[in-house]
Amino acid sequence: MKVTVVRNILDANDRIAAENRLLFDEKGVYVINVMSSPGAGKTSLVEKTITALKDRWRIAVIEGDIQNTYDADRVAALGVCAVQINTGGACHIDGNMVREALPALDLDRVDLLITENVGNLVCPAEFKIGENAKVMILSTPEGADKPAKYPLMFQESSVMVINKIDLLPYVDFDLAKARRDALAVNPGLEIFEVSCKTGQGLEGWIGWLAGRVEAFRNR
In this predicted model, what pLDDT tens digit does every residue of 120-143 receive, in sequence order? 999 999 999 999 999 999 999 999
Query: Pick the residue with more confidence: 59 or 67?
Result: 59
From residue 111, alpha-carbon distances to 48, 54, 88, 99, 127 in Å are 17, 10, 29, 17, 23
Q: What percent of the chain has pLDDT over 90?
A: 88
Residue 120: per-residue pLDDT: 93
Distance between CA atoms of residues 136 and 140, nearest Å = 13
Rg (CA), the chain: 17
Q: What's the CA gap between 93 and 87, in Å, rounded? A: 7
pLDDT band at residue 2 under the 50/70/90 scheme: very low
pLDDT tens digits, residue range 144-180? 999 999 999 999 999 999 999 999 999 999 999 999 9
The confidence band for 1, taking pLDDT boundaries of 50, 70 and 90, is very low
pLDDT for res 13: 93
The answer to pTM > 0.75 is yes
Contact 112, 58 (CB under 8 A): yes
26 CB contacts (<8 Å, ≥6 apart)?
Answer: none
Q: Which residue has the higher pLDDT, 121 or 66?
A: 121
Express each pLDDT in 96-124 by its tens digit: 999 999 999 999 999 999 999 999 999 99
Please give the domain boundaries of the chain with CATH numbers for all domains.
2-217 (3.40.50.300)
Quick check: 5 pLDDT over 80?
Answer: no
CB contact burial 88-120 (16+ within 10 A = b; e otherwise): eebbbbbbbbbbebbeebebeebbbbbbbbbbb
Q: Which residues of 52-67 are buried (b: 16+ CB within 10 A; e: fewer)?
A: bbeeebbbbbbbbbee
Measured distance CA(180)–CA(186) in Å, rounded: 10
SS (H, E, C) the chain: CHHHHHHHHHHHHHHHHHHHHHHHHHHCCEEEEEEECCCCCHHHHHHHHHHHHCCCCCEEEEEEECCCCHHHHHHHCCCCEEEEEECCCCCCCCHHHHHHHHHHCCHHHCCEEEEECCCCCCHHHHCCCCCCEEEEEEEHHHCCCHHHHCHHHHHHCCEEEEECHHHCCCCCCCHHHHHHHHHHHCCCCEEEECCCCCCCCHHHHHHHHHHHHHHHHCC
- The pLDDT assigned to 103 comes to 96
